[in-house]
Structure 1
Amino acid sequence: EQALRDFNKAISINTRYTEAYNRRGIILNQNGDTAGALEDFNTAIELDPAYGAAYFNRGFLYLGRNLPDKAIDDFSRAIELSPAFAMAYIQRGAAWHQKGNPEKALTDINKALELTPDDPEAYYHRGVIFIEKRNFERALTDFSTALKLNPNYADVYNKRGEVWSETNDIAKAMKDFTSALKINPDLADAYCNRGILWSRKNNDDQAILDFNKAISLDPNSSKAYYHRGIALNSKGLYYPAIADYNKAIELNPTSAKAYNQRGISWDNKNNLRQAIADYTKSLEIDPQYAAGYFNRGLAWIKKEDFDKAIEDFSQAITIFPNHGMTYLQRGIGWKKKEQYDKAIQDFNKALEIDPMFANAFLQRGMVWGLKNDYQKAITDYTEAIELQPQLAEAYYNRGLAWDYLGNKEKSLADSAKAASLDSRFAVTSGDYSSQARPAEPEEKKAKPVISKDAKEYLNKGLAWDKQGKYDEAIEDYNRAIRINPNFASAYFYKGLAQYNKGELKTALSDFQKALNLDPENSEYKKIVSSLNAKMKEDSTAPAKENGS
């Protein structure tokens, strides 16, 4: 403020004081008064057309206003007047970079380094260009050199952190972003970048705190709103996420990613019409945006428009042919259309891209089952289980396949395992789960209301079950039954725990009680029938030696 007053005074005394106009312009630009700064730089140049510093500072102003052509003209004039003006080469390089010409940018910055080999800003700008060229090794070298020359260069820590993030060295990235903020607590982009890391570490609450800080420092950061939207969506806060995407789009109307992410949030709210509209808008902005086609394809699957889904997945594959998930989803579309051979081809391709893709084995197994090739189905389900031992759906479907092949014992074991991992594969009634088991018919009659306390004990029992602690599980199931004696699911899971302990008679008694309470439950019927058959078979079979 005092400097500004002094320059005002100097100009009032001498209205042709060129340097005073230039220096006052610098202060006004720093204070955000770009119009006043521009007027002062223009005046300085009018007074002295050979005043290189005024051209440089006006170029810097244009660069800040995203006017690279005007900036390049001014920096070029400054260089013409002072051929050894290294900083003018650096800033002209930044302008070329802003204009989308990295090669000319590198030429200028390399020239600056010839003139001043120890200029950390030149290394910083060259490192930024190497990031865009995906040459991360050279970017790291330049940023590290810049920090040796200036250990308090916050922007360099921030950019080096971006490189570590791109190369998946999360610990080093987090350290660099935090270092940047210790040096400059007002560096909004560093908060934003650190927030992105927290999201990658599945710490959405901490991420949101960093995005909030970034937005408070820079309310026009489309990037911060966009990534906060992703964190909010991850927490299931879909409407707040949509509000953030709205703001990101307002600040950057050509962001295909923001439309795509807003579409995902609408999708999560089951507003498929709005979701599809956003995915379509993202593709209007960027027709080569594979994620837009992929997500719109998923929405068409939900709407059961499988032809449109397959068309979108095919477009995504054309753009990005090495994405196994897209082949998987297109395969599911073919499966829904009962074109099983095409489905298998897509699942094969997904597994060619990712041989460890458990869900591709699962889906291919389902198609083999639909083609009545149960042995191949079992092979695929087994592969899926080996890759993902908690995949309840694979156990459930393998149990069905064993049942079709007449192996009741293995069918029962798989059904029990599926139910112990995920209650949807055992419970269809409203007594516990509000979510119907896949492929189960609609309920045929009303079910008893189960108290909250009983459900809590059931949940505790399920948690013990997953740890293999069956006695503890049985205790909690019994508590649930004491609270609600008509709780079919509690009897069923108690039976599963008894079965896993090898107590078959007790298990059958509990399964039968569950079936008596819920006689329409096909899973209960199946298990009671299978276990009865197994016990009958065991009772008539000759005694076996231990270990056989």
Structure 2
Amino acid sequence: MNEHFENHRAVLDIVRRFERMVDSQEPVFFDLEDFENIIDHYVTNAEFEKALQACEAALGQYPFSTELLIDRAQVTAMRGDYQEAERQIDEVAALDPTNADVAVTRGIISTQRGEFALAIEFFRAGLEQEPEREDIHFNLGLAFQSWQKFKSAAKHYKQSLRLNPDNETGVQELLHCLDVTGRLEEHEDFFKGFTDDDPYSATAWYNLGQYWYRREDFAKAAESFDYAVVISPDFHDAHHWLADTFVCQQEYKKAIPEFEQAYPLGEPTDEALCNIGECYEKLREWEPARRYYRQALEINPEMDEAWFGQGVLLQEQGRWFEAIHYFRKATELYAESGEYWSALGAAENQVGNVVSALESYEKATEVAPDDVQGWISWSAILYEQGHFAEAVELVHHAVNLHPHEAHFHYMLCAYLLADGRMREAYNTLETALTLNFDQHTLLFDYFPALREQPGLKKLIEQFRK
């Protein structure tokens, strides 16, 4: 068993014990190292309130620990209370002025404040004292990345990973920086190097899987994640990513057993259950899909994805009235999803609630203006209602978003014809025919009455030659 995962499991056990003691208001006693692990766990998961609570409990037991005082100052900064964080780190500096973590903490505060040049000065000062600190390189990466200096950020993330390949966040941030700068392909050897150095490291294979996943080479990603779980069968995150890779390849039956191993035995997560539900939905196995979505909601009643998933199940079965309830709940829980609003609009339209449908599509385009589907669906309803000029205006948005997509030009042509704007319609049709002649049949699929338009027929025949 990989030592990293044994340690990770031990830390989770300590965190659970700490939380049980806090919940039952029992006295909390832990070794200093255990407290450090608890605080680090919460910080890694961005649970800063819990991290601060752990800091206070630890300082109650070890009031003179410089490490804990520094932890508390850093967590305070991450919560956004910069003045208090500075006051706390000044107190530590008075007690221990040569401690490299004083400079690191000041760097973290400056990064949080958006003072990136100053942050980098502090982190570099810390590196001068302790040049092999992977966390300082990682923080330098974050500061450069926040400053939009992605190449410099990548350099420090790489050094951080050379010193500690187990930093999963570092892998994700490095991949993002390489992606942004178009340098993913040239870093294949960097990620392969970890598996070459230690072919029995589950983390090395996991990191290589992340690399191939980001490259969208899902076959190689699946192979890498598979090695990771063979080496460490309890590597739950690797099972999750292997499952996700199968989903990307539309291999839903293979994904299900991997999602089932993406959590500790008997401790399913709402995310894993929802993912399994979605796999069954894609397989059109409605009953198990519904069951898993409901189990996800039992764990987390506010999981918008599970509400939406149940709506999709009902929609696929033509049960539109029931689907509306679930789509509406999804939009209440997460109102920033254009997909949710569009689905609600479609369901409302199916049952004849035209006004509600129009309102939903308007909301869809408001929260996701770059999503074509909202504009197209909204325009189609207006066209059906005889509001041709408004339909033209809306489908223009789709054309502007995707000017080389003939489909939208054909729709615009039909709407312009309906609005009596013949010259514009024929100009638009010429553009559509130039982009993709074969798609001209869409005009007649959508609008059968146009088959009788002699002008249209003539223009189409000219392009056929």
TM-score category (smaller protein):
0.5 to 0.7
Q: Is the 8 A contact 2:323 2:347 kept in 1?
A: yes
Q: Tell me whether 1:320 sits opposite 2:334 in the alignment.
A: no
Structure 2: 5+ residue runs without aligned partners?
A: 1-9, 86-104, 112-118, 181-213
2:260 aligns to what SS in structure 1? helix
1:72 to 1:183, Cα distance in 2 relative to 1, 3 A? farther
Q: How far apart in 2 are the matches of 1:203 and 1:71?
A: 43
- After TM superposition, the structure 1 stretch with the greater mean CA deviation from structure 2, 180-189 or 271-280, is 180-189
Displacement of 1:349 in angstroms is 1.7
Q: Tell me whether 1:29 sits opposite 2:13 in the alignment.
A: yes
Q: How far apart in 2 are the matches of 1:341 and 1:218?
A: 58
Displacement of 1:313 in angstroms is 1.5
Query: Which of 301, 306, 321 is residue 258 of structure 1 equivalent to?
Result: 306
Q: Is the 8 A contact 1:384 1:394 kept in 2?
A: no
Displacement of 1:242 in angstroms is 2.9
Displacement of 1:107 in angstroms is 1.8
Q: Tell me whether 1:174 sits opposite 2:221 in the alignment.
A: yes
TM-score (norm 1): 0.55
Q: Is the 8 A contact 1:94 1:125 kept in 2?
A: no
Q: Is the 8 A contact 1:358 1:387 kept in 2?
A: yes
The residue that corresponds to 1:155 in the other structure is 168
Q: Is the 8 A contact 2:77 2:108 kept in 1?
A: no
Query: Which of 71, 74, 87 is residue 54 of structure 2 equivalent to?
Result: 71
Q: How far apart in 2 are the matches of 1:319 and 1:91?
A: 38
1:220 to 1:137, Cα distance in 2 relative to 1, 3 A? farther
The residue that corresponds to 1:450 in the other structure is none
The residue that corresponds to 1:490 in the other structure is none
Displacement of 1:285 in angstroms is 2.2
Please give the per-residue CA displacement for 1:192-228, whole angstroms capped at 9, x wherever unaligned: 2343343334443443343233156574322222333
Alignment of 1:112-511 (within 5 A): 117-120=131-134, 140-141=154-155, 143-151=157-165, 153=166, 155=168, 159=172, 163=176, 169-171=215-217, 174=221, 181=229, 184-215=232-263, 219-371=267-419, 377=425, 380=428, 383-384=431-432, 387=435, 391=439, 392-394=441-443, 396=445, 401=450, 403-405=452-454
1:118 to 1:408, Cα distance in 2 relative to 1, 3 A? closer
AA aligned opposite 1:393: L
Displacement of 1:166 in angstroms is 8.2
1:214 aligns to what SS in structure 2? coil
2:275 aligns to what SS in structure 1? helix
Displacement of 1:174 in angstroms is 2.9
Task: Look at both structures and tell me which one has the larger radius of gyration over its CA atoms.
Answer: 1
Displacement of 1:343 in angstroms is 0.1
1:253 to 1:394, Cα distance in 2 relative to 1, 3 A? same
1:256 to 1:373, Cα distance in 2 relative to 1, 3 A? same
Please give the per-residue CA displacement for 1:202-260, whole angstroms capped at 9, x wherever unaligned: 44344334323315657432222233333333333344333332222222222223322
1:290 to 1:29, Cα distance in 2 relative to 1, 3 A? same
Root-mean-square deviation (Å)? 5.0
Q: Is the 8 A contact 2:240 2:259 kept in 1?
A: yes
- After TM superposition, the structure 1 stretch with the greater mean CA deviation from structure 2, 384-393 or 344-353, is 384-393
AA aligned opposite 2:221: M
> Alignment length, in residue pairs?
382
Please give the per-residue CA displacement for 1:318-361, whole angstroms capped at 9, x wherever unaligned: 33333332211211121111100000000112211221333322
Q: Is the 8 A contact 1:58 1:74 kept in 2?
A: no
Q: How far apart in 2 are the matches of 1:411 and 1:78?
A: 83
Displacement of 1:116 in angstroms is 5.0
AA aligned opposite 1:251: I
1:346 to 1:42, Cα distance in 2 relative to 1, 3 A? same
Q: Is the 8 A contact 2:345 2:357 kept in 1?
A: yes
- After TM superposition, the structure 1 stretch with the greater mean CA deviation from structure 2, 88-97 or 182-191, is 88-97
Displacement of 1:70 in angstroms is 1.0
Structure 1: 5+ residue runs without aligned partners?
A: 1-25, 46-50, 418-547
Q: How far apart in 1 are the matches of 2:417 and 2:154?
A: 52
Q: How far apart in 2 are the matches of 1:40 and 1:166?
A: 47
Q: Is the 8 A contact 1:366 1:377 kept in 2?
A: yes
1:220 aligns to what SS in structure 2? coil
- After TM superposition, the structure 1 stretch with the greater mean CA deviation from structure 2, 366-375 or 276-285, is 366-375
Displacement of 1:399 in angstroms is 8.4
Q: How far apart in 2 are the matches of 1:408 and 1:40?
A: 81
Q: Is the 8 A contact 1:196 1:207 kept in 2?
A: yes
2:217 aligns to what SS in structure 1? helix
Q: Name the structure, 1 or 2, with higher relative contact order (CA <8 Å, separation 6+).
A: 2
Q: How far apart in 2 are the matches of 1:130 and 1:243?
A: 46
Q: Is the 8 A contact 2:242 2:258 kept in 1?
A: yes
1:74 to 1:36, Cα distance in 2 relative to 1, 3 A? closer
- After TM superposition, the structure 1 stretch with the greater mean CA deviation from structure 2, 273-282 or 344-353, is 273-282
Q: How far apart in 2 are the matches of 1:232 and 1:133?
A: 43
Please give the per-residue CA displacement for 1:284-339, whole angstroms capped at 9, x wherever unaligned: 22344433322211212222322221111212223333333221121112111110
Displacement of 1:155 in angstroms is 3.4
1:232 aligns to what SS in structure 2? helix
2:404 aligns to what SS in structure 1? coil
Please give the per-residue CA displacement for 1:77-132, whole angstroms capped at 9, x wherever unaligned: 6896232x3x88569757976x6889979727988965755344566688799999
Q: How far apart in 1 are the matches of 2:11 and 2:457?
A: 84
Q: How far apart in 1 are the matches of 2:268 and 2:76?
A: 21
1:362 to 1:312, Cα distance in 2 relative to 1, 3 A? same
1:101 to 1:309, Cα distance in 2 relative to 1, 3 A? farther
The residue that corresponds to 1:507 in the other structure is none
Displacement of 1:149 in angstroms is 0.8
Displacement of 1:146 in angstroms is 3.0
Please give the per-residue CA displacement for 1:441-488, whole angstroms capped at 9, x wherever unaligned: xxxxxxxxxxxxxxxxxxxxxxxxxxxxxxxxxxxxxxxxxxxxxxxx
Q: Is the 8 A contact 2:154 2:174 kept in 1?
A: no
Q: How far apart in 1 are the matches of 2:230 and 2:81?
A: 33
